[in-house]
């Protein structure tokens, strides 16, 4: 079955056909590095990660690029606020971004281009647009002339005449039309700048993404992704300037991620319901947050609350209980009917192929857990082959693709439980030694050694360690 998903450009579910068979070029709008990213941003990053993981699971060779906007009005304002320079601000929050996506279990992109490393390419693209009369310069500023692009509005569905007539009075009288957008901004006092044919200045936001995506993926690539809030004007402007410069289609497929609300309200600092990822991870696990995101289709609005995250933690615990049941079941050395996971892989692929339906993918995983639990209840023990089949299926579907669990990961709870159990065993052995029942204490020591756990008696204290050699 081919993969199909909603394409914002065509406004319908499209069957995915990459430009090059078995290879995928995908660009994701990354952060503007002026602050810690919030849980709405995190949703977009996680869902793009899951799509990337799924393509790789389907044996596609993926080239995934996510940009970093490291020069922008927000960065300049933050530098002024903190009485420092833009390089310090962008450096600090770029490091924070990488720390946070690692905590979120997001697989690194293949490339993270920075706007400041691509200014030469930006100047080159702007020059090309001026030469073709798609852009014009006024007093050191360069603007894109939206009227020169006949298909302006094809992504967002907005009509240019409505945008112009509905625009508020524009304070910038240099523009031909109020909806024309900046490609190059002339330098203001004390702002960072680069030399250009139009004087000292810096790039506009929209043109940065066009240059970074085309430099890394080619003038036409497969997929462009980002949050719903970027459809207009950011992505609309990317299409206009890129296609005017190359006379080629920019991206064939556009994927957009839905808005996130807090307790059914729009997230906003003024309402006091604005949460960064770091805020949330102080109380909940990254897996629980990913699980919550998976419960809603990527393009739909998502409601967020502490109660919903607690429910996600509980649901994850049910899966982990199944994993524990598998791992702790006795080994059956004899023959045992095989446990088949084939249908669950098939069901998982069917729902993910249909618009990356993660809610149904979770349902498949819970169906798998239910059948595993029934099998264990019936047989009481498992063959090594069945154990391996069950754990592999949960790791591949829930771990490798959705990133909500790690079958092989030891939890803090597991470590504490092992430590507590060993303390009990050591106390029992010490009691046996005091009572001179040395055959019991020796048996405990020898049996533990068979499990690669070594006891050491020294100065009246007994310690233990796992011998991993």
Q: What is the pLDDT along the chain (469 residues), one digit of tens a residue?
A: 799 999 999 999 999 999 999 999 999 999 999 999 999 999 999 999 999 999 999 999 999 999 999 999 999 999 999 999 999 999 999 999 999 999 999 999 999 999 999 999 999 999 999 999 999 999 999 999 999 999 999 999 999 988 887 765 455 778 999 999 999 999 999 899 999 999 999 999 999 999 999 999 999 999 999 999 999 999 999 999 999 999 999 999 999 999 999 988 888 777 778 899 999 999 999 999 999 999 999 999 999 999 999 999 999 999 999 998 998 887 777 778 999 999 999 999 999 999 999 999 999 999 999 999 999 999 878 999 999 999 999 999 999 999 999 998 765 556 667 778 888 999 899 888 889 898 988 999 888 888 878 888 877 788 887 775 4
Domain final residue pick, 368, 401, 434: 401
Domain presence at residue 262:
no
* Tally of domains in the chain: 3
295 and 228 in a common domain: no
94 and 225 in a common domain: yes
SS3 call for 23: strand
147 and 85 in a common domain: yes
Crossing angle of helices 306-328 and 384-394, in 10° steps, is: 160
For the chain, first and last CA: distance in Å? 47
Q: Which residue has the tokens 């302006």?
A: 152
428 and 344 in a common domain: no
Domain presence at residue 311:
yes
15 and 91 in a common domain: yes
Domain presence at residue 265:
no
> Using CA atoms, how far apart are residues 442 and 440, in angstroms rounded to an integer?
5
Domain presence at residue 269:
no
SS3 call for 331: strand
Residues in the chain: 469
Domain final residue pick, 224, 257, 290: 257
CATH of the domain at 283: 1.20.120.640
252 and 390 in a common domain: no
Note the maximum CA span of the chain: 98
> Using CA atoms, how far apart are residues 241 and 250, in angstroms rounded to an integer?
10
pLDDT (0 to 100) of residue 469: 47
Domain final residue pick, 353, 380, 401: 401
As given in the structure block, the two tokens for residue 283 are: 């109380």
Q: Judge whether 214 and 244 are in contact, CB under 8 Å.
A: no
pTM across the whole model: 0.88
pLDDT (0 to 100) of residue 415: 64
> Using CA atoms, how far apart are residues 311 and 288, in angstroms rounded to an integer?
9
395 and 428 in a common domain: no
**Nearest one of 122, 123, 98 to 45, comparing CA atoms:** 98
Domain presence at residue 266:
no
432 and 349 in a common domain: no
Give every CB contact of residue 402 below 8 A, 6+ residues apart in sequence: 50, 53, 290, 294, 358, 361, 362, 365
188 and 207 in a common domain: yes
Domain presence at residue 17:
yes
> Using CA atoms, how far apart are residues 64 and 73, in angstroms rounded to an integer?
27
> Using CA atoms, how far apart are residues 108 and 48, in angstroms rounded to an integer?
11
Residue 188: domain span: 4-257
25 and 149 in a common domain: yes
CATH of the domain at 125: 3.40.50.620
97 and 160 in a common domain: yes
360 and 418 in a common domain: no
Domain presence at residue 167:
yes
Domain presence at residue 407:
no
Give every CB contact of residue 58 below 8 A, 6+ residues apart in sequence: 3, 349
């Amino acid at each position: 079955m081919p993969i199909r998903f909603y394409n914002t450009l065509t406004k319908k579910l499209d069957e995915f056909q990459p430009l090059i068979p078995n290879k995928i070029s995908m660009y994701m709008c990354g952060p503007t590095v002026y602050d810690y990213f919030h849980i709405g941003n995190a949703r977009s990053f996680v869902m793009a990660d899951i799509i990337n993981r799924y393509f790789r699971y389907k044996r596609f060779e993926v080239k995934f690029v996510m940009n970093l906007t490291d020069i922008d009005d927000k960065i300049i304002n933050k530098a002024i606020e903190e009485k420092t320079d833009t390089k310090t601000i962008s450096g600090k929050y770029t490091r924070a971004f990488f720390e946070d996506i690692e905590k979120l279990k997001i697989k690194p992109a293949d490339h993270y281009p920075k706007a400041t490393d691509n200014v030469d390419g930006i100047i080159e693209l702007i020059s090309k647009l001026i030469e073709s009369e798609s852009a014009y310069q006024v007093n050191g500023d360069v603007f894109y002339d939206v009227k020169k692009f006949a298909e302006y509005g094809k992504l967002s569905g907005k009509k240019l005449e409505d945008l112009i007539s509905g625009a508020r009075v524009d304070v910038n009288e240099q523009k031909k039309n109020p909806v024309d957008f900046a490609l190059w901004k002339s330098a203001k006092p004390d702002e960072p700048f680069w030399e250009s044919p139009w004087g000292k200045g810096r790039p506009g936001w929209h043109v940065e993404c066009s240059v970074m995506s085309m430099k890394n993926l080619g003038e036409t690539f497969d997929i462009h992704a980002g949050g719903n809030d970027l459809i207009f004007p950011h992505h609309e402007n990317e299409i206009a300037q890129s296609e005017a410069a190359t006379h080629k289609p920019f991206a064939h497929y556009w994927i957009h991620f839905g808005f996130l609300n807090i307790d059914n309200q729009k997230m906003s600092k003024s309402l006091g319901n604005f949460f960064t990822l770091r805020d949330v991870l102080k109380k909940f696990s990254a897996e629980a947050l990913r699980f919550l995101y998976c419960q809603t289709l990527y393009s739909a609005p998502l409601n967020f609350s502490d109660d919903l995250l607690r429910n996600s933690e509980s649901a994850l615990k049910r899966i982990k209980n199944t994993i524990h049941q598998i791992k702790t079941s006795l080994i059956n050395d004899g023959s045992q009917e095989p446990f088949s996971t084939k249908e669950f892989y098939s069901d998982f692929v069917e729902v993910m192929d249909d618009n990356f339906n993660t809610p149904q993918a979770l349902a498949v995983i819970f169906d798998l857990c239910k059948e595993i639990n029934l099998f264990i209840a019936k047989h009481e023990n498992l063959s090594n082959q069945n154990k391996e089949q069950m754990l592999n299926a949960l790791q591949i579907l829930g771990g490798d693709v959705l990133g909500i669990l790690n079958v092989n990961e030891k939890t803090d709870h597991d470590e504490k439980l092992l430590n507590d159990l060993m303390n009990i065993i050591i106390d029992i052995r010490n009691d046996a030694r005091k009572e001179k029942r040395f055959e019991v204490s020796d048996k405990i020591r020898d049996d533990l050694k068979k499990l690669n756990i070594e006891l050491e008696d020294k100065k009246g204290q007994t310690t233990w360690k796992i011998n991993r050699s």
